[in-house]
Amino acid sequence: MAISRARRNRIAELGAHVILLTFAVIALFPVLLILINSLKTKKAIFRQPLEFPTSETLDLVGYSTVLQQGNFPLYFWNSLFVTGASLCLILLFGAMAAFALSEYRFRGNRLMGLYMALGIMIPIRLGTVGILRLMVTTDLVNTHWALILVYTAQGLPLAIFILSEFMSTVSSDLKSAGRIDGLSEYSIFFRLVLPLIRPAMATVAVFSMIPIWNDLWFPLILAPAEHTKTLTLGAQVFVGQYSNNWNAILAAMALAVIPVLILYTLFSRQLIRGLTSGAVK
Amino acid sequence: MELEQDLMVSERKKKPFRWHVLVFLAPAVIVYTMIMILPLAETLRFSFFQRDTITQAISFVGLENYIKLFFDPYWVEPFLNSLWNNCYFFLIHMLVQNPIGILIAALLSMVHLPGKKLYRIAIFMPTLLSFVVVGFVWKLMLSPLWGVSKGLMKSVGVGSWYLPFLGKEETALTTLSLISVWQFIGIPMMLIYAALLSIPDEVIEAAECDGVTGISQFFKIKLVLILPTIGIISILTFVGNFNAFDLIYTTQGPLAGPNFSTDLLGTILYRTFYGQQLQPGDPNMGAAIATVMFFIILTGVAIYLFFIQRKLTRYEM
């Protein structure tokens, strides 16, 4: 009886592996296909799309086209700057507001929390007409700051929501001790609380980063100029212009994917831990 | 007792205005209000105005934009088309993405081998890719010019089923929905996996003592316990889907071809706002469409908060 049950479990587990492996292959296959074909000659791309490049079919012409024609280093820098600056602002302002909301009791506290939470559910994109007018009147169109401000506003609601959950777990004894020692409220926040919620900040950073880095809508509308194009928009435009040059398209795609893949392999543990936080087992 | 009361009174009197609360709150509230809330309100207001075609002066027109949107055949047909497409897009996500996400999460929580981490990393990976990459990768793969998908389908014996999926009106929207499912399957998988992990061992042990194991244990106990998570995933999917734009734009262009068969509310908003080949942009009509989208999303969120979330019993775990 016991043996047959164990065997049944073994079979079930094997089945689970087969299904999971299938899904994993489906998830990875398209990206792998782009990466290997970006390294091949045009002929090989069409004749043997599923084969790895060999010494005969290896050809980096796509990459040289991209690097010569496109402003990719600039786009990359723009994306990096916009994402980085937005993240800093989201984390700083978000943590400060979360601290105020979870630490102090004041009139309208709950209402303020609800007001900030509104933005979690309502996409900022719907205010585009108003945002564009605002950016035009303040002369911020085609600057990095237009994007940074929009992304900060977009990221704050979720950041405040997640961070205030964590803030309330910080022991109040510690904060009282700090107050007795004469620390100001600012030093309590910056020196006692912030270091303790670093893991939560990492979670928020990862969550906020993905949609900012990948956004196409706001760069297209607020900052389409050559000097402010982000990598996402730049790749989109490039692919449109070079639609018949398969080597160049595949190389552009590969260049857009590689930084994400590197970051993901480095931070996948934090990311997954953040997503599954709460389930500490 | 008296002393205590004295202390309380004096404390209440002495309490000065706490500037630091204001300082902590101000930056977030200002940025959020200026960049998100006011422009949203401005968009709502803008939808009641229209530019005169002759004098170019902008004047208040009341509900005229909405009347045009809902009753003028020139507007209402594409609008209803995109609304219907959007509902279909959402339906495919609910029927394919979320059940498969639950299945993967359930299998992950079952497997006890180190490979589990790799599966999670692999299946979550597409979620991180930009729509530009996702759109073009699939466009290239499904393109009849590049024989990849045809070749693959031939190798499993269904080569005759191959169609230029993105180029045919009948299949384009379904194909795009499935591409979007491919991209975002990682989110329901992760959230449900976390919810499954947080079910306490005692509950599972108690079930096993009562002889509830395997598949019936999953449906009778675990699935019930993770219903709140499924509710959250559904509302996240809803908001994301009714706001979708990027994938359609990158694969099919702003005209949401073929013949508008993949037009969603997001793409019609973009076209109206920015104009298209034959028609100049109309920010006021765009604002009206954005307002309608706002109320659709708000209705969805309200239904979730007041009906679904209340009905779902949260079990203290």
Which tens digit of pLDDT belongs to each residue from A40-73?
Answer: 888 888 877 777 888 777 888 888 888 887 788 8
B158 and B10 share a domain? no
Say which DSSP state B263 is in: -
B40 and B137 share a domain? no
Whether residue B235 is contained in a domain is answered as: yes
B162 in contact with A at a CB cutoff of 8 Å? no
pLDDT at B175: 94
Question: Structural domain tally of chain B?
Answer: 2
Preceding amide of A219 cis, omega within 30:
no
**ipTM (interface pTM):** 0.85
Listed as own residue / partner, the contacts of B232-236 with beta carbons closer than 8 Å and 24 or more positions apart are B232/B191, B233/B98, B233/B101, B233/B187, B233/B188, B233/B191, B233/B192, B234/B94, B234/B98, B234/B304, B234/B308, B235/A121, B235/B300, B235/B301, B235/B304, B235/B308, B236/B187
CB pairs under 8 A between A and B: 265
Whether residue B56 is contained in a domain is answered as: no
B34 and B100 share a domain? no
Domains and CATH numbers, chain A: 2-61 (no CATH), 87-222 (1.10.3720.10)
CATH number at residue B164: 1.10.3720.10
More confident residue, B168 or B79: B79
B21 and B132 share a domain? no
Report the phi/psi class of residue B212: left, alpha or beta, with left for phi > 0 and alpha for psi in -120 to 50.
beta
Please report where in the chains the tokens 């498969």 appear, as a residue: B100
Q: What angle, rounded to 10 degrees, do the helices at A198-214 and A246-275 form?
A: 150
**Taking CB atoms and an 8 Å cutoff, what residues of chain B touch A150?**
35
B269 and B306 share a domain? yes
Whether residue B57 is contained in a domain is answered as: no
Q: Which of B134-143, B159-168, B236-245 has the weakest average pLDDT?
A: B159-168
Q: Which of A20, A37, A50, A208 should one mutate to test binding to chain B, selecting the residue with the greatest count of B CBs within 10 A?
A: A20
B245 and B208 share a domain? yes
What chain B residue is nearest to A240 in terms of C-alpha separation? B250
Closest approach of chain B CAs to the CA of A232, in angstroms? 7
B298 in contact with A at a CB cutoff of 8 Å? yes
Q: Are strands B275-276 and B58-60 parallel, antiparallel or unpaired?
A: unpaired
> Hey, which residues 12-31 in chain B have their CB within 8 Å of chain A?
18, 20-21, 23-25, 27-29, 31
* Beta carbons of A16 and B126 less than 8 Å apart: no
| Cα gap B130→B127, rounded to integer Å | 8
B111 and B10 share a domain? no
- pLDDT above 70 for B186: yes
Closest approach of chain B CAs to the CA of A43, in angstroms? 11
Whether residue B62 is contained in a domain is answered as: no
pLDDT tens-digit readout, A126-168: 888 899 999 999 999 999 999 999 999 999 998 998 888 888 8
φ/ψ of B132, rounded to 5, equals: -60, -45
Beta bridge partners of A40: A58
Element (H, E) at B51: strand B49-51
Whether residue B121 is contained in a domain is answered as: yes
B42 and B80 share a domain? no
* Beta carbons of B29 and A275 less than 8 Å apart: no
pLDDT at A278: 46
Whether residue B291 is contained in a domain is answered as: yes
Whether residue B254 is contained in a domain is answered as: yes
Confidence grade of residue A1 (pLDDT, cut at 50, 70, 90): very low
Using DSSP, state whether A181 is helix, strand or coil: coil
B254 and B130 share a domain? yes
B136 and B263 share a domain? yes
Nearest CB neighbour to A93, from listed B31, B193, B273:
B31
Which structural domain, as residue segments, surrounds residue B36? 2-46
More confident residue, B153 or B29: B29
Report the phi/psi class of residue A143: left, alpha or beta, with left for phi > 0 and alpha for psi in -120 to 50.
beta
pLDDT tens-digit readout, B48-91: 998 887 777 888 888 889 999 999 998 999 999 999 999 999 99
**Taking CB atoms and an 8 Å cutoff, what residues of chain A touch B198?**
278-279, 281
> Hey, which residues 112-131 in chain B have their CB within 8 Å of chain A?
112-113, 115, 117-131
Over range A99-112, report the average pLDDT: 89
B209 and B297 share a domain? yes
B294 in contact with A at a CB cutoff of 8 Å? yes
B92 and B23 share a domain? no
What chain A residue is nearest to B238 in terms of C-alpha separation? A121
pLDDT at B98: 92
* Beta carbons of A122 and B297 less than 8 Å apart: yes
Whether residue B54 is contained in a domain is answered as: no
pLDDT > 70: what percent of chain A?
93
Closest approach of chain A CAs to the CA of B187, in angstroms? 9
